[in-house]
Amino acid sequence: MMGTAVREGTTGKIISFTVINVATPEFADQAPYGLAIIQINGGGRVLARIQDGTAESMTMDAAVTFDHTDDHGPVFRLM
């Protein structure tokens, strides 16, 4: 099964999200953080963290853009 490629310039919209307040040890320094399923423009979906994503800032259908990838996967930011 092939994954959805994300790279500079990748955009999409949030189709589902949550805010993680109590994180596992490897993410403890990032809590609270947004986690969302992103519908990529052009096709595909990806699970990604949302930079500065809070319950107040994230909404369904919010536009996002790829920011970077770290050791834990892709990170998007709200547009």
d(CA 66, CA 74): 7
Q: Is residue 48 part of a domain?
A: yes
Whether 77 is covered by a domain: the verdict is no
User: Over the stretch 23-79, which tens digit does the pLDDT of each residue have?
Assistant: 999 999 989 999 999 999 989 999 999 999 999 999 999 999 999 999 889 999 999
Within a domain: 2: no
- In a domain, residue 1? The reply is no
pLDDT at residue 20 is higher than 90: yes
- Please tell me the distance from the alpha carbon of residue 37 to that of residue 62, in angstroms, as a whole number: 11
State which residues form the domain around 26.
11-64
The total number of structural domains in the chain stands at: 1
Model pTM score:
0.89
Q: Give the confidence band of 6 by pLDDT, cuts at 50, 70, 90.
A: confident
- Indicate if the pLDDT at residue 1 is higher than 70: no
Take residue 50 and report the two structure tokens written for it. Answer: 């949302």
Rounded to whole angstroms, how far apart are CA atoms 53 and 34?
Answer: 4
